[in-house]
Amino acid sequence: MTSIAENVANVRRQIRQAALACGRDPERITLCAATKTNGPAAIQAAIAAGVDCCGENRVQEMVQKMEAGAYHGAPLHFIGHLQTNKVRQVVGKVELIQSAGRRNLLEALEKEADRQGIRQKILLEVNIGREASKSGFLPEELLAELPEFGKYPHLFAVGLMAIPPAAAYPGENLHFFQEMSQLFVDISREKYDNVTMAQLSMGMSGDYLEAIACGSTMVRLGTAIFGPRNDHPA
């Protein structure tokens, strides 16, 4: 069995090297543990080893693990596909919803945050690979949506998130990361209500070092921390 503590320490070293290699401050890169399929003990081991936050994919799995105290000690993010009929179980329960990638979801999130009287932080998910199977705004859709953000006073969009297509070889996704970085910079230069560009969430176990080289501020790692998905069943 792999040691989660060793994996986290190794990942931190790699993040540090990748950041320093491109003149960036390693402290400014958030390490989010992608916890899907992993049980509370494994998640607690990752938190003890110093991951900055946890990201969960499925609402029901998240609710069960929350009840088991799995995320105690670290902020929780939602990073998976979110159906509008499940927003009530997520809004106000997590620090950040990273997967806000369609207008009807924004409307449902706004309505629920308003009902709770809170302001929910979100990331805007971008379908940078233009894949039919993936959710997220196309870049031009997002740029058209941003001037309308005044209508979401109970949401605070604090950055962008992307899941590029699975890479067949190292470096294949570099141009997607570069495009995301450019979009992030372009949006940062504009002023939109309820929007600020603080976090650029991109990079998973197979490509996080490339993502950091392109300006990622948050990597979401599952297998690099926990090993293969069935090592620590929930």
In the list 11, 34, 49, 74, the residue contacting ligand PLP (rule: CB under 6 A) is 34
Q: Quick check: 179 and 139 in contact, CB under 8 A?
A: yes
Rounded alpha-carbon distances, angstroms, from residue 5 to 8, 39, 47, 71, 227: 5, 15, 9, 16, 12
Residues 171-210 that bind ligand PLP (CB under 6 A): 204-206
Structure tokens belonging to residue 117: 């009287």
Q: What is the spatial distance between Cα 209 and Cα 218, in angstroms, rounded to a whole number?
A: 11
**Interaction between residue 126 and ligand PLP (CB under 6 A):** no
Of 24, 36, 88, 93, the one binding ligand PLP by CB under 6 A: 36
Structure tokens at 48: 């003890």
Q: CB nearer to ligand PLP: give 71 or 154.
A: 71
Binding letters toward ligand PLP, positions 38-67, x by CB under 6 A:
-------------------x----------
Task: Examine residue 163 and tell whether it contacts ligand PLP (CB under 6 A).
Answer: yes
Strand-pair category, 96-100 with 155-162: unpaired
Ramachandran region of residue 67, left (φ > 0), alpha (ψ -120 to 50) or beta? alpha
86 binds ligand PLP (CB under 6 A): no
221 contacts ligand PLP (rule: CB under 6 A)? yes
Q: List residues binding ligand PLP (CB under 6 A).
A: 34, 36, 57, 79-80, 163, 204-206, 220-224
